[in-house]
A and B are shown apart, each in its own frame.
Chain A
Amino acid sequence: MRHALTNRIRRHRALAGLTQAELARRVGVSRQTVVAMEKGSYNPSVTLALRLARELGATVEELFTLEADHDG
């Protein structure tokens, strides 16, 4: 059984009233990286995950969930 990482960055960003570009600037990455994270095509490092959590007023566990992937 594999585990898939899902995230709720888009939802928390909307709650915080931030655009992708604003969030990118605050956490020090490109807007494309925020887009990739929201799509789930890029998993951030622990450092970046902690920065995201801080800027979005959430915990890392609220932003990211490790889910069992039964296809694996």
Chain B
Amino acid sequence: MTGRKPILAIAAGWTLVVLALGALWRVEALSLLLLLGLVIPALASLPGANRDERERALDREASHLALGAVYLLAVGVVIHALLVRGTHPDPRWYLVLALPLLVRPLVTVGRGRGPRILGLGLGTAIGILWLAFALLGHGLGTAGLIESAVGGAILLATALGRGWPRAGGVLLVALGVLFAVMLGARLAHVPGATAALMVLLLPLPLLVAGGALLVSGTGEPSPEE
């Protein structure tokens, strides 16, 4: 299988560059070798990499196990911090937890069920979560009702997307942009990992849900619909 040669050449070239950086600049530059762990599997998964179906299946299985191992580590760190030490862990660990929790179902639902179901499911989930947090956090007082209105708006936009995916999609994207703008001012004052987590949990899912509904509204309906 000749497809491995370019990947090995790229890996060897990068290793030489990093070794040179380590020797000429600072030894910590050797940490850039860690990127190979991301780049090599990514290159190997490209169609031109000439890997056969069994090798791709093995790659996917290995990636699945690697994800499980990393997730287990993050869960362990978070639970240990919360339950044993009684403090919050470094926010970066929440980020490590949130990324697979978001990306995996997005890919599974998006590719398995299509953009319409992804947009509707994601919009509904965000709306319900928002409502639950608003009511549990603030009760039925004025603050709780104002916060709940946001969740209600998300659910309404999603419900609209059932019959009119483009309209629902535009509204969800608009809400996502609104959240992004509102968050923008606050992000400068929080640590990078916290800022990334806020973007990941608030505007980004809305933008993805809206985008998915817009995509579903532009294509032909599938035969079973």
In the complex, what residues of B have CB within 8 A of residue A45's CB? 53
How many A-B pairs with Cβ below 8 Å? 22
In the complex, whether B52 has a CB less than 8 A from a CB of chain A is yes
In the complex, whether B1 has a CB less than 8 A from a CB of chain A is yes
Please give the distance in Å from B102's CB to the nearest CB on chain A. 30
B-side binding surface: helix, strand, loop or mixed? helix
Cβ contact within 8 Å between A36 and B54 = yes
Residue on A with the closest CB to B50? A28
Looking at B1, B53, B54, B55, the one whose CB has the most chain A CB atoms below 10 A away is B54
Bound complex: CA of A36 vs CA of B55, how far in Å?
11
In the complex, whether A30 has a CB less than 8 A from a CB of chain B is yes
Residue on B with the closest CB to A33? B54
Q: Which residues of A contact B (CB under 8 A)?
A: 28-30, 32-33, 36, 42, 44-45, 47-48
A-side binding surface: helix, strand, loop or mixed? loop
Residue on A with the closest CB to B57? A42
In the complex, what residues of A have CB within 8 A of residue B54's CB? 29-30, 32-33, 36, 42, 44
Question: Which residues of B167-185 have CB atoms within 8 Å of chain A's CB atoms?
Answer: none
Residue on A with the closest CB to B58? A42
Please give the distance in Å from B5's CB to the nearest CB on chain A. 14
In the complex, what residues of A have CB within 8 A of residue B55's CB? 30, 33
Question: Which residues of B46-63 have CB atoms within 8 Å of chain A's CB atoms?
Answer: 52-55, 57
Please give the distance in Å from B186's CB to the nearest CB on chain A. 50
Bound complex: CA of A28 vs CA of B55, how far in Å?
12
In the complex, what residues of B have CB within 8 A of residue A32's CB? 54
Bound complex: CA of A29 vs CA of B55, how far in Å?
9
Bound complex: CA of A47 vs CA of B54, how far in Å?
13
In the complex, what residues of A have CB within 8 A of residue B1's CB? 30
Identify 7 residue pairs between A and B in the complex whose beta-carbon atoms are under 8 Å apart, listed by A's number: A30-B55, A33-B52, A33-B55, A42-B54, A44-B53, A47-B53, A48-B52
